Every structure is written in C-alpha cells, then in structure tokens.
Amino acid sequence: MKKIILISAPYQHLYGSVSSLVSFYFPLGLGYIASFLEKNGYSVSLIAEDGQTNVFDEVARQICDDDLLYVGISSMTASFPAALKLARMIKNKIPDVPIAIGGPHAAALKRIILDNYSEFDFVCFGEGELTALEIAESLSGRSSISDVTGIIWRNSESGAIIENPPRAFHQSLDDFPYPARHLVNFQNYSLHSSINTSGKVKSATILTSRGCPYQCLFCATHLTAGRKHRFHSEEYILGELRFLKERYGIKHVFFEDEVITVNRARLNSLCRAIIDNNLDMVFSCFSRVDIFDEPMAELLKSAGFRMVIFGVESGAPEILKQMNKGASLDQARKAIDICKKYDLKSYAIFIVGLPFETLADVRQTIKFAFDLDASMITINPFVPFPGTPLFSMEDHYPKTVDGWAKFLMTSAPPFDMVPGVSGSKLQQVINQAHLKYYIRPNQIFRFLKRLKSFDEFPVLVKAFWMILKRSINKI
C-alpha cells in the first residue's frame, strides 16, 4: 500500500537565541488526521520536530524509501517558508507526488498559495480529518477529486485552479480516534515550563472540544475549528486521559481547548467525572475572565487543576472594546483574586500594538499587568495574521516568502502597527516591561512563596529565564 506522509513544518529555529528553551508540543491536529487515516486502512507516517528529529533530514530519508500516495504539510504563518522549502525538496525528488498544505495560514490564503507556488497541488481549508481521507480515496481511484469538499486544487492536466465547496464542521468528534502519538517519539514532547509547574512530571496536551464562539479581532482559530463549540464525550476524554497515563506515564495534562470553561454544565460534569475516577493527574487550561467565578475555581481545584491561563489582552477599557474581547478590567482583577483564594496559579496574557492603540494605551496595559499580580504574565506584540480582520494584503503581505517567518508573537512584526510608534520601539517597551516585572524583589518573593516542592524550582526558573533572556536579547 502506498504511504501518506504528514509533516508539521518546523518552527523552533524561529525563536532565535531562546530556541533551546522552547518546548515541543505534539501536533494534535496532524495527530488526529493520522489516526483517522489509519482507522480507514491507510499507512501513515508523521514527521514533526521534537528536539531530536531534523524534519528535513527525516523527510529526505522517507521520500527515498517509500512509494507515496501523497504528502500533507501543516503550517503556521511563521513556518510557511519552511513548508515551502519542504515541498520544493519533495518535488525535486519525486515530481509527480501530490502535495497538500493545510493549517490556518493556508486556509486564509488558499488561492494566493496555489497561484504563486506550483509545489502545492491542494490547499485544505476547514477541518482536516475527512478532507485528508477523501483526498486519499480520490488519489486511490475510489472517488473523484471534484467531490472532495474543503479543498482548492490544481488540475494536473489543464493547470486550472478549482475551488471546491467548503466542508461542514463535523459534529460527532468521537468519530475521530485519539491522536496518533504512537507515530512519533512521544517522550520527546512536553509542556512548556511556564505551564508544567508541577515539577519534573511527564506532561502532554489534549483537546476535549473544538470551535470558539467568540470573535476577537486578533484570532483566526475559526478558519480551522469553526465558531460552533463541539465536544468530545466524557467517556472519550476519560479514556484518553487513562491512555496517556498508562501508555506514557503522563501526570500533567494541558487542555488546549480555546474555551473549555465556557459551557459550565459540561465543565462541571467533566470535573466531577475526573474526581470520581480518581485519575491522580494534574491539569491546566485556558479560561476567560468574564466567565470565571468562585464555584468554577473550587471545582477546578478539586479536580486537580493547578493553573489557569487568561487572555486578559489589554489594560485599556476602550481597547478591549475595539478588540471585541467582551470582558472588563474588573472581571480580570476578580478572576486573578479568585485564583489566589483557591491556590491556583494564574497566567495573564496581554496583546499590545494594535493599529487603534497609542503608546499611552500600551503603557496603560503594562501598568495594569503589573498591578494585576498574576502568578505570571506575558505581553505579546500584536501580529496581524492572515484570516484576521486586521490583516491587510496591501500593508502586511511580505515582499518575499521568508518575510512570513517574522509573523511570530514573540516579536513585533516587521512593519509599524501603532501610528507614530516603530515596531522596534514597541518591542523595546515590551522587553523593558518583562525585565522590570520579573526582577522586582516582591515578584521574586512571590515566586519563591508559590513553590510547592523542590522539583518546581528548576522548572519555574527555566520559564522565567526564557522571558528574561527574550527581553535582554530583544528578539
């Protein structure tokens, strides 16, 4: 049987001087696609960087050895140059092998990608599992490529570019098997030290739901996950947690759901099920400050949650409104205070540098971040990703493909977003804020006070060192 190779375009090198401190997350999206293809009888290889694997070398090795049905590449915006380099390398070796690209960047710029890069034969947009399977079925001669929804493709005979209808988001998520973690060296993946603050325990990520009903201006999640909130069953989730614990020894799980706390009844039921099953694991998750309250915090704590990450975003009320965030500063203060009361670590994330901000607004956000007194904060420069309302083809589309590598939220983009404030100036303000925040004596004291065990110390030191090094080196 011909093999399908799925590749996650590498990105770690983009972090520059702190790349050695970046943790590698297993690519859940590709993992789901791989397991669904396997479930339907296809042979699949999954290639992703893990700190030990050179993606380009591994791809070169496998395309020499295998008879391929097609290659699928998943790419973020910043890793698109690497995705293109991979596609060119593959086409140079095997010119006739079909190559598909997916992910939010491809979904936002699907026609442009096919118009400009002949290396790609298909661009997938929307959810990937069924699309990947139908591409495989069509290339195996069992169906027509014209009937595959959720793709734009190039006719190999005429050269015409054809956009098929979009694919509806799948409602029964339990139809998709657990991600194919067995296809990689899974022990090489772990949570970032800023999240895995439970010492040296083994950690992993899962998804219990897909979709986000909110419409923040800076987010493009809807391109691949949709806006409707869809769920795995409790049985599926508990089974995956047990599997991670028994197969890989995982003790700390991060729920990557965009809004796991938005459906209170479901969250309550899931937490009670975790408690009743006595899983002996710890957890972290994202939440929103406008839906976080004491009963929720108490239940999360009882179920084993140890950290909650909040996208606070701004410390300026008017900017929050323009972001379409739907939350207030008072709600942010209350959420952090509740975390303190229930001994949950809080991680507050902010975005500064939007085109409707001023430097005074940026400084107001920084002051609010300092006063909020969360366990940790990160202040990110705004990056106008394709697919978001603030992306402009005229102003933001790079002159060369390598320019996409600058679309990384650890540094200001290579163009000015705030009127009258250069990107370099904005980055300097952010760097100085991080440095000042984490070297304050009272912050160091709180850091030491919050340690629960000696094992946590090196983990948190690594997290803080990454932030400080990032600030000092002005990435």
Name the H helices within 277-315: 294-303
Same domain, 246 and 387: yes
Q: How far apart are the first and last CA of the chain?
A: 46
Q: Has residue 318 been placed in a domain?
A: yes
Mean pLDDT of 12-28: 75
| b/e sequence 182-199, b meaning 16+ C-beta within 10 Å | ebbebeebbbbbbbbbbb
Q: Supply 141's token pair.
A: 């001669």
Beta strand pairing status for 282-287 and 99-102?
unpaired
56: domain CATH number is: 3.40.50.2300
Give the amino acid at 285.
Answer: C
55-65 helix and 80-93 helix, angle to the nearest 10 degrees: 30
Same domain, 204 and 64: no
Q: Supply 218's token pair.
A: 């800076």
Q: Supply 417's token pair.
A: 């977003």
Backbone φ and ψ for 397, nearest 5 degrees, come out as: -70, 125
Same domain, 318 and 449: yes
Backbone φ and ψ for 447, nearest 5 degrees, come out as: -60, -45
| pLDDT tens for each residue of 119-176 | 999 999 999 999 999 999 999 999 999 999 999 999 988 889 999 999 999 999 999 9
Which residue in the block uniquely carries the two structure tokens 């599926």? 236
Residue 455 near residue 199 (C-beta atoms within 8 A): yes
Q: With residue 77 as reference, give the H or E element that holds it.
A: none
Q: Supply 75's token pair.
A: 């790419």
Q: Which of 118, 146, 163 is the last residue of a domain?
A: 163
- Check pLDDT > 70 for residue 375: yes
- Check pLDDT > 70 for residue 21: no
Q: Has residue 179 been placed in a domain?
A: no
Q: Supply 368's token pair.
A: 């609010």
Q: For residue 43, count other CB atoms closer than 10 A to its CB.
A: 14
Residue 26 region by backbone torsions, left for phi larger than 0, else alpha for psi between -120 and 50, else beta: beta
Same domain, 101 and 42: yes
Q: Which of 163, 180, 202 is the last residue of a domain?
A: 163
411: domain CATH number is: 3.80.30.20
Q: Has residue 169 been placed in a domain?
A: no
Q: With residue 267 as reference, give the H or E element that holds it.
A: helix 264-276
- Check pLDDT > 60 for residue 322: yes
Q: Has residue 178 been placed in a domain?
A: no
Same domain, 116 and 199: no
Same domain, 374 and 463: yes
Q: Has residue 353 been placed in a domain?
A: yes
Same domain, 142 and 194: no
Beta strand pairing status for 122-124 and 151-154?
antiparallel
Could you tell me the residue range of the domain that residue 83 belongs to? 3-163
Q: Has residue 153 been placed in a domain?
A: yes
| pLDDT tens for each residue of 238-297 | 999 999 999 999 999 999 999 899 899 999 999 999 999 999 999 999 999 999 999 999
Same domain, 198 and 159: no
Residue 175 region by backbone torsions, left for phi larger than 0, else alpha for psi between -120 and 50, else beta: alpha
Q: Supply 428's token pair.
A: 């300097």
**Burial of residue 430 (number of CB atoms within 10 Å: 0-12, 13-18, 19+):** buried
Q: Residue 346's closest CA among 197, 465, 192, 453?
A: 197
Q: Has residue 57 been placed in a domain?
A: yes
Same domain, 378 and 307: yes
DSSP 149: T
Backbone φ and ψ for 41, nearest 5 degrees, come out as: 95, 5
Of the pLDDT bands very low, low, confident and very high (cuts 50, 70, 90), residue 185 is very high
- Check pLDDT > 70 for residue 198: no
Same domain, 154 and 201: no
CA dist 428 and 412 (Å) reads 10
Q: Has residue 185 been placed in a domain?
A: no
Same domain, 13 and 135: yes
Q: Which of 163, 198, 232 is the last residue of a domain?
A: 163
Same domain, 261 and 157: no
Q: Supply 78's token pair.
A: 């910043």
Total domains in the fold of the chain: 2
Specify the higher pLDDT residue, 411 or 334.
334
| Dihedral angle, C-alpha 35, 36, 41, 42, nearest 10 ° | -70
Q: Chain-wide mean pLDDT for the chain? A: 90
User: Does the pTM exceed 0.85?
Assistant: yes
Residue 142 near residue 106 (C-beta atoms within 8 A): no
Backbone φ and ψ for 373, nearest 5 degrees, come out as: 65, 40
